């Protein structure tokens, strides 16, 4: 191995540790649930995106097993060669139906959906207009589009005056694409999609929304666009299949022309093997549950209200959240890491989030109540937060 590279890697890792920015991987030793096993210890799990508790649901597991028996373990090819099974086409149709749009197409992840869609629909004659707090996958998708930075203006977070000012300045470009998260993953606030759509229509721009954290949570589970009633006025909707849906993957929902174009020009779709049958069948089972059992979303929101009201009553700063994403804002990176460690000792897994995921000085422990939590588990976690928060001088 090359010593120059290896020495550089060691130096960079040590620098992260010195700044309290190093994040070791957490080993999960049990299925996902309200309580899990980590390092041999049973702890209340407040770090999962498993919003509806579907990741370990019996119906999903049964569907996955049946699919393996009928279709095998893998798809065997990319979808554009011979990897498109009937299951995959059924899932595309079901997602379009679920989102109340014309068509949909599945990708290997939400990240690849952004990385594969933005460059495919943007040319050098266009401009991309992006919220300043958009997810890293949107940022990378915009970079992959190959536009110079001056054609990728950023507007202030959720600031519609700032967005309108950018739209006015960039009126000469052939296409303007406004891109925003539906729900912002670190703060839990919601993009004002109704106003964004109105501005887009006024200035002849297209809209793309990454609804990874809105799917299964808002709009009766159909997401942020449905929550605002603008789902048929948005050109591109991205959803994830690995959070509320409980499995893995991402998808793009919109017009039939959009789907057709992506099958021809989206590089992750063209050059990645299709989802295994078990994954596809489990997602279909999750959609069945999401469409027929509203109690899952209701339980998520009941638990969210219980959790957030308990933290606020103790004096914790939860920022501007409007969703189950519940950041306990600390500020200092080392103190956020210490809060994570001491909570684990008290039987709670709640992970610190530091730079570069959030800005320096904005460190927090990000907590995620979900539908699989019992009130007893949440109360146990609240007791631990109170105990550690007082000890660290956070409340």
Q: Are residues 238 and 374 in the same domain?
A: no
pLDDT at 34: 96
Q: Are residues 113 and 186 in the same domain?
A: yes
- Residue 145, domain extent: 75-275
Using the 3D structure, point to which of 228, 243, 275 is the last residue of a domain.
275
- Does residue 154 fall inside a structural domain? yes
Provide CB contacts within 8 A for 7, sequence distance 6+.
Answer: none
Query: Which parts of the chain sit beneath pLDDT 70?
Result: none
pLDDT at 72: 98
Q: What is the CATH number of the domain that holds 165?
A: 3.40.640.10
Would you call 243 a catalytic residue per the annotation?
A: yes
Q: Are residues 245 and 344 in the same domain?
A: no
Given 88, 135, 213, 362, which residue is catalytic? 213
Q: Are residues 148 and 183 in the same domain?
A: yes
Q: DSSP alpha helices (H): ranges in the chain? A: 3-18, 58-71, 86-99, 110-121, 136-144, 160-169, 193-202, 224-228, 256-265, 267-270, 277-292, 295-314, 333-345, 375-391
In the chain, how many domains are there? 2
pLDDT at 106: 98
Q: Are residues 104 and 29 in the same domain?
A: no
The Cα 287–Cα 205 span in angstroms is 32
The Cα 286–Cα 276 span in angstroms is 16
- Does residue 141 fall inside a structural domain? yes
Q: Are residues 235 and 132 in the same domain?
A: yes
Q: Are residues 256 and 307 in the same domain?
A: no
Would you call 185 a catalytic residue per the annotation?
A: yes
- Does residue 289 fall inside a structural domain? no
Given 57, 99, 227, 243, which residue is catalytic? 243
The pTM assigned to this predicted structure is: 0.94
Q: What is the CATH number of the domain that holds 344?
A: 3.90.1150.10
Using the 3D structure, point to which of 216, 246, 275 is the last residue of a domain.
275
pLDDT at 314: 97
Using the 3D structure, point to which of 247, 275, 303 is the last residue of a domain.
275
- Does residue 283 fall inside a structural domain? no
pLDDT at 23: 84
- Does residue 10 fall inside a structural domain? no
- Does residue 2 fall inside a structural domain? no
- Does residue 7 fall inside a structural domain? no
Q: Are residues 343 and 210 in the same domain?
A: no
- Does residue 320 fall inside a structural domain? yes
Given 185, 215, 242, 372, which residue is catalytic? 185
Q: Are residues 213 and 310 in the same domain?
A: no
Q: Are residues 228 and 346 in the same domain?
A: no
pLDDT digits (tens, 9 = 90+) for 19-78: 888 888 989 999 999 999 999 999 999 999 999 999 999 999 999 999 999 999 999 999
* Intra-chain end-to-end CA distance of the chain, in Å: 50
Q: Are residues 41 and 101 in the same domain?
A: no
Q: Are residues 242 and 128 in the same domain?
A: yes
């Amino acid at each position: 191995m090359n010593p120059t590279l290896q020495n550089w890697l060691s130096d960079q890792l040590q620098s992260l540790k010195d700044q309290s920015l190093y994040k070791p991987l957490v080993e999960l030793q049990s299925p996902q649930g309200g309580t899990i096993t980590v390092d041999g210890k049973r702890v209340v799990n407040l770090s999962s995106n498993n919003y509806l508790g579907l990741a370990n649901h019996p119906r999903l597991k049964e569907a996955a097993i049946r699919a393996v028996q009928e279709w095998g373990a893998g798809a065997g090819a990319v979808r554009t060669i011979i990897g498109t099974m009937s299951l995959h086409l059924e899932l595309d149709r079901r997602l379009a139906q679920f989102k109340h749009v014309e068509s949909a197409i599945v990708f290997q992840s939400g990240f690849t959906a952004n990385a594969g869609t933005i460059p495919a629909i943007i040319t050098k004659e266009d401009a991309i207009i992006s919220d300043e707090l958009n997810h890293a996958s949107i940022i990378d998708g915009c970079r992959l589009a190959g536009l110079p930075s001056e054609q990728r203006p950023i507007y202030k977070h959720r600031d519609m005056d700032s967005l309108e000012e950018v739209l006015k300045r960039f009126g000469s470009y052939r296409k303007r694409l406004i891109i925003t998260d539906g729900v912002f993953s670190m703060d839990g606030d919601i993009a004002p999609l109704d106003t964004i759509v109105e501005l887009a229509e006024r200035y002849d721009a297209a809209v793309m929304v990454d609804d990874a954290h809105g799917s299964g949570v808002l709009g009766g589970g159909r997401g942020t666009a449905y929550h605002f009633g603008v789902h048929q006025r948005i050109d591109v909707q991205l959803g994830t299949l690995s959070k509320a849906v409980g499995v893995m993957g991402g998808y793009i929902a919109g017009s039939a022309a959009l789907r057709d174009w992506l099958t021809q020009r989206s590089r992750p779709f063209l050059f990645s093997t299709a989802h295994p049958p078990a994954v596809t069948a489990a997602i279909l089972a999750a959609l069945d549950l999401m469409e027929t059992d509203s109690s899952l979303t209701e339980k998520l929101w009941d638990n969210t209200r219980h959790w957030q009201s308990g933290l606020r009553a103790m004096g914790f700063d939860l920022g501007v959240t409007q969703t189950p994403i519940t950041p306990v804002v600390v500020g200092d990176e080392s103190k956020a890491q210490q809060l994570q460690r001491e909570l684990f000792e008290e039987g709670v897994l709640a992970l610190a989030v530091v730079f570069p995921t959030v800005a320096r000085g904005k460190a927090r422990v990000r907590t995620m109540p979900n539908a699989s939590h019992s009130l007893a588990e949440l109360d146990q976690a609240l007791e631990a937060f109170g105990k550690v928060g007082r000890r660290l001088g956070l409340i």
